[in-house]
Structure 1
């Protein structure tokens, strides 16, 4: 199953974007990024409501960003510590990592 099937939506406003996953009880999880060029984004933040941490929610958001980057030929610079750690753990994402 791809993460697009899990209710994650992409919101864009100018050069900023975020992936959002609505959580029960109303507070969404999110991953935010900045477009820094036509084929490059900088992921700067992830956040998951405390009650839902440790359940793979943030990883699902990162996976969606990686899937979208692959589909569009975009490279990612992970400034967010969590996202940088996920890139180190998932060597198969090297194709979208900005070197």
Structure 2
């Protein structure tokens, strides 16, 4: 099984997600806050997927996205905030 994080976005918001066998198993939503920030507001992993690292994979993808777009992240979601705060290399996107 090859889980990769994908994302969808529009002018106001978007989400990162992991799809397995055609079914979305994890999703992390965000909204744009002006032109230079996104607010991660929710992370959800379907039951049965605990411990697979899906949540962290989506946070890593969001950090990559923020760096590529030269924007900052405001992690209102407690899970995303916890992951970002634990990784010193991620502090530049706050």
Secondary structure class of the residue paired with 2:84 = helix
Secondary structure class of the residue paired with 2:33 = strand
- Does structure 2 conserve the Cα–Cα contact (< 8 Å) formed by 1:23 and 1:29? no
Query: Distance in 2 between the 1:7 and 1:65 partners?
Result: 13
Moved over 3 A (4+): none
Q: State the TM-score, normalized to the length of structure 1.
A: 0.85
Matched, 1:15 2:12: yes
Query: Distance in 1 between the 2:82 and 2:28 partners?
Result: 14
Q: CA deviation at 1:55?
A: 1.4
Structure holding more strand per residue: 2
Aligned to 1:95: 92
Aligned to 1:40: 37
Structure holding more helix per residue: 1
Alignment length, in residue pairs? 93
Question: What is the CA RMSD across the aligned residues, in angstroms?
Answer: 1.7
Secondary structure class of the residue paired with 1:37 = coil
**Higher alpha-carbon deviation: 52-61 or 23-32:** 23-32
- Deviations 1:28-58 (Å, cap 9, x if unpaired)? 3111000011010000001111101121110
